[in-house]
Amino acid sequence: MPSIRSFDGVRISFEQTPGERPVLLLHGFASSAALTWQQTGWLRAFAAAGTATVSVDLRGHGYSDKPTDPAGYAMTAFLADIDAVLAEADYDIVDVFGYSMGARVALAFAQAHPERAGRLVLGGIAARDLFAGWNPDEVDAILLRNEPVADAQLTSIVTTARSVPGTSAEALSALVRGLDASGVSSAPQMPTLVAVGANDELAPNAADFAEQLSAELVEVPGRGHFNVLSARTFRESILRFLAAQV
């Protein structure tokens, strides 16, 4: 798996597959390129569609380095990593598809570089802040000391995150403290799709969010935050959106 060294020395791992009209793939919190895009069948689907992919292990995840200082997880650092990966891949313009935390990064990338993002797919997010309602001290209790907290949903999510093979509890703790991914300032300038499971408890009111972004909306019935990624209707809707002419 190739990698580059980013501006602050953090090594960022990524994977490329061949094809046309490259799409940049950004996974979610505590996941990885392999878990989000490989295991779920997305890379197979993109290969069948003839679409090139660049899937990044975001800093703190997968095979990439995992800083333990919250200052290492500013949104600007994630964007600099992507710049460096796209330079290595030699892509000026890409479609961008992010899921959950990766969708926040995708949106920030599209707003920082509107000329570089062709079409934008935001999966598993809505208007509320990333990590909304997450008390960092409680997150640390679960991550670093394996102590449950009163918030059952937080305990469940962070316990699962902690148990994903290869994750670093210290890195995830630093990320939760360091990443500012609040709110949405303005609608992206490129065609945008919001795609969520209809039962996604972490992305409520997706229709309002899509309207705020002047985006198209796909809601997959019967699916939630953690099982929509491999759903056939989710995949077909997004492939159709990406295949449309710019």
Partner 1 sequence: MADITFTLPDLGEGLLDATVLEWLVAPGDFVERGAAMVEVETTKSTVELPSPRTGVIAALHVDEGGVAEVGSPLVSFAADDDQAGIVGTVPADEVPVRRVRLTIPED
Residues that bind partner 1 (CB under 8 A): 1-3, 5, 15, 31, 34-35, 38-41, 44-45, 63, 160, 163-165, 226-227, 229-232
Minimum CB separation of residue 137 from partner 1 in Å reads 25
Minimum CB separation of residue 73 from partner 1 in Å reads 22
> Pairing between strand 3-5 and 11-17?
antiparallel
CA–CA separation, 54 vs 37, rounded Å? Answer: 10
CA distances from 119 to 23, 55, 95, 206, 239 (A): 9, 16, 5, 19, 11
Closer residue to partner 1, CB minimum distance, 58 or 215 = 58
| Four-point Cα dihedral 161, 162, 165, 166, nearest 10 | 100
Closer residue to partner 1, CB minimum distance, 98 or 178 = 98
Minimum CB separation of residue 45 from partner 1 in Å reads 8
Closer residue to partner 1, CB minimum distance, 3 or 68 = 3
149-154 contacts, C-beta under 8 A, 24 or more apart: 153/201
Residue 67's nearest CA partner among 176, 162, 142 is 176
Minimum CB separation of residue 131 from partner 1 in Å reads 20
The total of other beta-carbon atoms located within 10 Å of residue 207's CB is: 13
Minimum CB separation of residue 236 from partner 1 in Å reads 11
Closer residue to partner 1, CB minimum distance, 45 or 112 = 45
CA–CA separation, 241 vs 246, rounded Å? Answer: 10
Residue 46's nearest CA partner among 26, 24, 13 is 24
Residue 204's nearest CA partner among 151, 128, 133 is 128
Minimum CB separation of residue 182 from partner 1 in Å reads 27
Minimum CB separation of residue 40 from partner 1 in Å reads 6
Closer residue to partner 1, CB minimum distance, 164 or 190 = 164
The encoded tokens of residue 207 equal 């229709």
Closer residue to partner 1, CB minimum distance, 88 or 211 = 88
Closer residue to partner 1, CB minimum distance, 35 or 107 = 35
Helices (H) then strands (E): counts for the chain? 9, 8
